[in-house]
Amino acid sequence: MSSYTVGILGGGQLGRMTVEAAHRLNIKVAILDSESAPAKQINLVAADKHVTGSFAKASDVKVLASRCDVLTYEIEHVDTKVLEELEEEQPFVEGTEWYRIQPSWKTVRTIQDKFVQKSHLAKFDIPTAKSIAVGTSHPQGLKDIADQIGFPLMLKSRTEAYDGRGNYPVKTVSDIEPALKALADRPLYAEKWAHFKMELAVMVVKTAQEASIDSWESSTLAYPTVETIHEDSICKLVYAPPRDVSKKVTEAAQQLARRAVSTFLGTGVFGVELFLLADDSLVVNEIAPRPHNSGHYTIEACGMSQYEAHIKAILPDQASRIPEGATDLSVGAAIMLNILGGPQPDSHLLVEDAARDVPGAHVHMYGKGDGRPGRKMGHITVTGFSMSECENKIHSLVQMVDAVRA
Ligand code: ATP
Ligand code: MG
Ligand code: MG
């Protein structure tokens, strides 16, 4: 491939799996995160380039930038001001005209504030749930908003949200005060409730730098549409392909996801979360400018994983060389099950242990140490000729995950 070093802001499980893909391609990866972050544990090749610190701290980001050719993310909650400065100083990878921050910090700045993200998508007629900024944390403000969009609504933090930490369902007027209390001191917006019949997701690879919705067909590739099951706002299961969804809908989801991603500057993979409504119409829930939980299954189930695609898409000499069909399913079906932390620090290890007895269960543990309830500790993917074969294989493990969480 090339001799470039990639720097990643963040070293959790997404960074760790990106490192696995990069190793196979002989690409060095430098990680900015705490000392024993998951992505650092398995990455000795570039150990001298890792930075101990935080992706939210300007001086740490500068050190990482000085040690790599291309900068990318595994999390969107990063300091974009310092990235803006770094781009002014040195926009391109040395010896090329390829932007070295991929995707662009402008993309991350838009996406990291969910309300700004939704306003951006609205400009391009990409459907989203109706959203209204909550200018004041005074209950009356939210009551007025509820008059406009109705109950139930989802009160959401505009920033720093993940795994539903930042969401509060407001079902009636009596939920308003507890909701504002739970999300106190965070910038908020209210979202109209989406009465979806299913949640879908599509991983999109953006291979062209420019942002242009008109060129979505040439600037993006789509992975298959998948079905995601969330519990308590945390992703639990991913089914590829979705169960009982028509080809018309899965293709419409891919097209909508590609059109949405084409509006953002820069390259890389993007995770697009969608709601499928009762009338088979689709709305975008949110977009992540990075590899995504709903794309873990691509490691075993597609010709090229989302992690390998991300590495290729951000490098100057590889982005346009992702072969036709590489993002297609290479198996009949796949199911991905998240292993979440339970009440005890080692509760999740029960699931890991049981998975060893399931033939063909691909177990990925993240090296996070102690579990906490709802913390993503690992995942399991099974593949097969059919969805029912996959369901039979993983059934007992799903039951065990449920028991651990109970
Ligand atoms: P992630 O870990 O995916 O980044 P997050 O904290 O950013 O999660 P969202 O994706 O906004 O949170 O919401 C999490 C889940 O909450 C969704 O997948 C969906 O199940 C539910 N949800 C979010 N918004 C709405 C809505 N407007 N109506 C109904 N359900 C919703
Ligand atoms: Mg999110
Ligand atoms: Mg989400």
Q: Summarize pLDDT for 169-203 with one digit per residue, the tens.
A: 999 999 999 999 999 989 999 999 999 999 999 99
Q: Is the peptide bond before 316 cis (omega within 30 degrees of 0)?
A: no
Q: Whose CA is nearest to atom 27 of ligand 1?
A: 193
pLDDT tens column, 315-350: 998 887 899 899 999 999 999 999 999 999 999 999
The residue ranges of the chain whose pLDDT is under 70 are: 1-2, 137
Whole-number mean pLDDT of the chain? 96
The sheet with strand 28-33 has its strands ordered as: 51-52, 28-33, 5-9, 70-73
- pLDDT for residue 60: 98
Ligand 2 centroid from CA 390, angstroms: 28
Beta carbons of 67 and 30 less than 8 angstroms apart: yes
Q: How far is the CA of 218 from the centre of ligand 1 (A)?
A: 30
Predicted pLDDT at 404: 84
CA of 76 to the centre of ligand 2 (A): 9
Question: Looking at the CA of 152, which ligand is closest?
Answer: 1
Distance 273 CA to ligand 3 centre (A): 6
Q: Which two tokens stand for residue 276?
A: 């499928």
∠ CA(395), CA(399), CA(400), 5° rounding?
115
Query: What pLDDT was estimated at residue 2?
Result: 65
Q: Which of 75, 118, 121, 154 to mutate to test the pocket of ligand 1 (most atoms within 8 A of CB)?
A: 154
Contact in structure between 341 and 347 (CB atoms under 8 Å): yes
Q: Are 226 and 251 in contact (CB under 8 A)?
A: no
Choose one of 189, 233, 340 to mutate for the ligand 1 pocket test, by most ligand atoms within 8 angstroms of C-beta: 233
Give the other-Cβ count within 10 Å of 280's Cβ.
12
Ligand 1 atom nearest to 230, measured from its CA:
20
> Which ligand 1 atom sits closest to the C-alpha of 193?
28
Q: Which residues line ligand 1 (CB under 6 A)?
A: 129, 154, 161-167, 191, 193-194, 199, 230, 233, 273, 285-286
CA gap 283, 55 in Å, rounded: 31
Model-level ipTM above the cut of 0.85: yes
Q: Say how many Å lie between the CA of residue 163 and the centre of ligand 3.
A: 7
Beta-carbon neighbours within 5 Å of ion ligand 3 = 273, 286
Three-state DSSP class for residue 221: strand
Q: Which atom of ligand 1 is nearest to the CA of 165?
A: 6
Residue whose CA is closest, atom 15 of ligand 1?
233
- For residue 161, give the ligand 1 atom closest to its CA: 6
Name the E strands within 207-342.
Answer: 220-231, 234-240, 268-277, 282-288, 333-340
Distance 356 CA to ligand 2 centre (A): 31
Please give the number of the atom of ligand 1 that sits closest to the Cα of 192.
27
Ligand 1 center from residue 113 Cα (angstroms)? 14
b/e map 176-195, b = 16+ CB within 10 Å? beebbeebeebbbbbbbbbe
For the record, the structure tokens of 215 come out as: 């060129």
Q: How far is the CA of 185 from the centre of ligand 2 (A)?
A: 19
Residue with the smallest CA separation from ligand 1 atom 9 is 164
Strand order in the sheet with 188-192: 131-134, 188-192, 153-157, 167-170
**C-alpha to C-alpha distance for 105 and 32, rounded to whole angstroms:** 16
Sheet with 333-340: list strands edge to edge.
282-288, 268-277, 196-206, 220-231, 234-240, 333-340, 376-384, 362-365
161 alpha carbon – ligand 2 mean position (Å): 6
For residue 319, the model assigns a pLDDT of 82
Looking at all shown ligands, the one closest to residue 154's CA atom is 1
Nearest CA residue ID for atom 24, ligand 1: 154
Q: Which two tokens stand for residue 39?
A: 């992505």
